[in-house]
Structure 1
Amino acid sequence: MDIGDKAAFISGYTRILTQAWSSEEFSQRLESDPRAVLAENGLVTAPGTRVEIIRSRDADPDLDTQVHLWDNGRLTGRYVLYVPHIPQVDTRELDDDELGDLAGGVSGYCCTPCCCQSV
């Protein structure tokens, strides 16, 4: 898959994910007529191939794996697309270093010089 095809796939896949997570009607259409829904979002499959939509959250691949699986569909005739029912959110607690990274590595005062510092 060249870079243009990869970008087009990621764009279409992202649209499908966000619509599936925000619209029950879209999710139902995706499951009942995946080939048409995919084509509407720029993911056209070859005639005579199989399309498998996997909704299980347990089997989510990372984006690179999903790109590879989709590209492999051109060779095998079996397109696989992971579209979990809800997005997986990492709910673990952050350690001090990770919190510092979120703050941009800034600690102490909110600005320099800060009006809240006494002179």
Structure 2
Amino acid sequence: MTAIASPETFVRKYSELMLGVWRDDAELTKLLADPTKYATEAGLPVDAGATVTLDRGQKESLFTKDEVIGDWTKTPGQHILHVPETPLVDLSELTDDQLETVAGGLVVIIIIL
């Protein structure tokens, strides 16, 4: 099982990955082609020999930090990566500073806006 050394760093990298996929179709294509490789290249801690399973399901609200970390770490050999198909906020309405804040790991900002 993967140990998350720094939950804040994990959430920041996870958030950056989601925002990148939501903002760029080329990034989405890469993610869909090989979620394990994409997550590894994004800096998420992928266990040796583990696979990343992509969950594109749509929730009414964002996952909490505990849910994201829990789903990533709970099953040996498998990491669940939640990237809903549709952003839960209109990214075009966020300023660059707000996007940077979200990518910095403050996922709660998306819920509030």
Query: Which TM-score applies when normalising by structure 2?
Result: 0.66
Decide whether the 8 Å contact of 2:58 with 2:85 is kept in 1.
Answer: yes
* Structure 1, unaligned runs of 5 or more: 90-119
State the structure with more CA Rg: 1
* Structure 2, unaligned runs of 5 or more: 90-113
Superposition RMSD on alpha carbons, in Å? 1.9
The residue aligned with 1:48 is: 49
SS at match of 1:42: coil
The residue aligned with 1:83 is: 83
Distance across 2 between alignment mates of 1:87 and 1:64 = 20
The offset of 1:62, in angstroms, is 2.5
Decide whether the 8 Å contact of 2:51 with 2:77 is kept in 1.
Answer: yes
- Percent identity of the aligned residues? 23
Larger RCO (alpha carbons 8 Å, 6+ apart): 2
The offset of 1:71, in angstroms, is 2.4
Decide whether the 8 Å contact of 1:8 with 1:42 is kept in 2.
Answer: no
SS at match of 1:53: strand
The residue aligned with 2:72 is: 70
The within-5 A match list for 1:1-119 is 1=3, 4-58=5-59, 61-73=63-75, 76-89=76-89
The residue aligned with 2:97 is: none
SS at match of 1:52: strand
Query: Which TM-score applies when normalising by structure 1?
Result: 0.63
